[in-house]
Amino acid sequence: MIKKWALRAIVAYILFGIAMYAYLFYLADTSIPAALKGTKADPATFLNARELMLTEEYSKIRNLMFFLATPYEWLFYYLILIFGVSAVFERWANGTARFFALRSAIYLFWLSIASFIIMFPLSYLSYTISKSYNISTQVFSSWMKDNIIEFWVDYAMMLVIVTVLYALMRKFKKRWWLAAWVLSIPFSIFMMFIQPVLIDPLYNDFYPLKDKQLEAKILEMADVASIPAEHVYEVDMSNKTNSLNAYVTGVGSNSRIVLWDTTLERLTDEEILFIMAHEMGHYVEKHIYIGIAGYILLTFVGLWLTAKLMERWVNRRGKAWKVDKMTNLSSLPAFLLITSVLLFAASPLTNWVSRHQETRADTYAIKMTHDKEAGVKTFQSLTKAGLSQVNPPYLVKIFRYGHPTMLERIRMIDEYKIKGK
């Protein structure tokens, strides 16, 4: 029976991969609407023939990798569960340590190692593809170092989460999910607080913006927007990527305005100020608080659904998996599988909300800078640097895009009527 279910899962994954390949490479329409031909949103007006070809090729491959990687992770959790491998990891942990926290650490270590090994081929393939299209500039040793750091950072966070989660399952048999939800709120805010000062510096070097004239302009804009910022930071990303980016991260006193050095090197001051105005728009529109509220609501629903589905699944199949009850650590792959599927299912909604907020931030940037030309050139440069499709397929947009498509962003800016102009 187990072999039959495993075979079904593998066949389903292969068929899904074939279907997504056919959709992305043959069926999806990524052409520009006839009405927009020759406009600033038409990539043919700002990309040469080779860049157009590379953009289509790279985007299709990256999108396919995305749709293959997510269910590949589900397949891993499912197979490690039904074949009893998770139960073996728990048996090793129970035979090694007496204390529950230490048993959790040992079990999670083996599960994390197995996950890292299984997911590594896809991760390495993604890295080599980015290198071949000159998006990534990172040498293998540096890339591998980032992967190892990410492994231990994820392991440390998961150890806290798993230890607390299973302790709650044992204490609150039926309402553990509610207690987990309550604790997830301060934990998430705490992680947002320490991210800029403890976690991000593990991967890259951050330092105050060297161009003090540009920093003064950005801080002047921040003052107009009533944003309490004293410094602007730049981060050394040119040794890892040719892509461009800028963002605001953290909460409270640990908030940071950050610019990639690639952005500083390739964009004009006017374009950088437009990006900064966009980021400030998120602050002014209070998107971070809306995001926290949405996260709290989705986490509540997600944990409730996970508890119901997990309990029913383990009760029905637990014996076959050698998982006696839901409070066993060996049930963790079931928890991770269910939450991952629910997050993927919710992504069209969360991405839609995010795209709406990004459009609002773009509008704010136009109103603040009164520089539509800088906005258009910024998004054209981002398209070129990241080899991004201007008009991606519909499924890609709803499942991957937390920002409007470049077609939508450039068109909106180009057609926006500034009052008084």
Of 73, 90, 279, 408, catalytic: 279
Q: Is 210 helix (H, G, I), strand (E, B) or coil?
A: coil
Task: Please enumerate in sequence order all residues whose Cβ is within 8 A of that of 164, keeping only pairs 6 or more positions apart, or say none.
Answer: 180, 183
Which residue, 209, 371, 187, 194, is CA-closest to 277?
Answer: 371
Q: Does residue 209 contact residue 234 with C-beta atoms inside 8 Å? A: yes
Active site residue 362: yes
Distance CA 98, CA 75 (A): 32
Task: Please enumerate in sequence order all residues whose Cβ is within 8 A of that of 195, keeping only pairs 6 or more positions apart, or say none.
Answer: 249, 250, 254
- Where do we find the tokens 């279907």? 19
Distance CA 144, CA 148 (A): 6
Burial class (CB in 10 A: 0-12, 13-18, 19+), 111: buried
Active site residue 279: yes
Instruction: Give Cα 99 distance to the centre of its chain.
Output: 35
- Which ranges of 48-175 would DSSP assign to H, the alpha helix? 49-82, 85-96, 100-132, 140-171
Distance CA 170, CA 339 (A): 20
231 in a labelled binding site? no
Distance CA 327, CA 142 (A): 39
Of 42, 234, 362, 371, catalytic: 362
- Where do we find the tokens 């599960």? 111
According to DSSP, the residues that pair with 318 across neighbouring strands are: none
Which residue, 339, 311, 336, is CA-closest to 326?
Answer: 311
415 in a labelled binding site? no
278 in a labelled binding site? yes
* Annotation: binding site: 278, 282, 358
The catalytic site residues sit at 279, 362
* Annotation: binding site for Zn(2+): 278, 282, 358
